Amino acid sequence: MKRALLALTLMLFCHQTGNAQTPYYQGKTITITVGYQPGDGYDIWARVLAAHMGKHIQGNPNMIAQNMPGAGSMIAANYIYNVAKPDGLTLGSIGPSLYLDQLIGKKEVHFDWAKFGWVGSTENTPWLLYMKTDTPYKTIEDVRKASVAPKCSATGTGTSGYFIPKLLEEAVGAKFNIVMGYQGGAEQDLAFERGEVVCRSLSIPTFFAREPFTTWRKQNLVRILMQTGRKLIHACPTCQRSTN
């Protein structure tokens, strides 16, 4: 009897040890589904994480970023919630303000924001609103008094491109003409350069992280009209200086 118990104990120990030696993520691939176009701020962060995060997870899984742009990352959010398997192999890089669309009951929302499993955030994001320098809108006061509202771009209603101008309308009486439906940042950049729109609200880190913003600042094509957050933003010597 004692020998039988000893043998059973050894079997259980060996089984548990064998399982411990094979981490769940070993040999697997984690996909970060990015709700924006390649080169956008969310895409940059996702690819940085994909390049380094795997080595900090037991089993050292491979990690890749997959773009699924559209509707301010709502398409990606719907996919993650309804299609992706809940097996720990799909992460989402989506807009943090999509919950606003759920709150107002948009029919395109097919997720429950509160039921997403949150892993973390790459940054504490403040926003800014920039304006083309060759427009008559030099300050927010100019926007308030303008007879024609400036056109700002946005991908969807659950994005800073939409809710920051709307907040300014409610708070200070500014008027904006928000043009929506762009797939991502690259399309909005082209629209700005073509003169289809003259303003946009986006995250401050993105504004200082990639082109064409660096070139625009050097060429004095844009000015910052406002920013959120308590800290001052001091750009490079050739850039605009913004304070709140």
Is the model's pLDDT at 232 over the cut of 70?
no
Number of separate domains in the chain: 2
Quick check: is 145 in a domain?
yes
User: Which residues partner with 30 through β-bridges?
Assistant: 63
Omega of the bond prior to 38 within 30 degrees of 0, cis?
no
33 against 3, higher pLDDT = 33
41 & 105 share domain: yes
Q: Which domain holds residue 154?
A: 127-227
3-state SS record for 218-242 = HCCCEEEEEECCCCCECCCCCCCCE
pLDDT of residue 41: 83
145 & 104 share domain: no
DSSP assignments along 155-182, one per residue: S-TTSHHHHHHHHHHHHH----EEE---
Asked whether the beta carbons of 227 and 242 are under 8 A apart, the reply is yes
pLDDT band at 13 (very low <50, low <70, confident <90, very high): very low
pLDDT of residue 20: 56
Quick check: is 122 in a domain?
no
Quick check: is 36 in a domain?
yes
Quick check: is 217 in a domain?
yes
pLDDT of residue 8: 36
Considering just the CA atoms, what is the radius of gyration of the chain in Å? Answer: 23
Is the model's pLDDT at 30 over the cut of 90?
yes
Is the model's pLDDT at 191 over the cut of 80?
yes
Quick check: is 242 in a domain?
no
Q: For position 178, which CATH number holds? A: 3.40.190.10
Quick check: is 37 in a domain?
yes
Asked whether the beta carbons of 220 and 133 are under 8 A apart, the reply is yes
Q: The whole model's pTM is what?
A: 0.72
Q: Locate all alpha helices (DSSP H) within the chain, ordered by sequence.
A: 2-20, 41-52, 74-82, 99-103, 140-145, 160-172, 185-194, 204-207, 213-218
pLDDT of residue 19: 53
pLDDT of residue 96: 83
Residue where a domain stops, chosen among 49, 82, 115: 115
pLDDT of residue 95: 86
Which residues are within 8 A (CB) of 234 and not within 5 positions of it... i.e. 6 or more apart? 241
Quick check: is 4 in a domain?
no
Question: What is the tens place of the pLDDT at every residue in 93-124?
Answer: 998 888 889 998 999 999 999 999 888 888 77
Please count the other Cβ atoms lying within 10 Å of the Cβ belonging to residue 32.
21
Arithmetic mean of pLDDT over the chain: 86
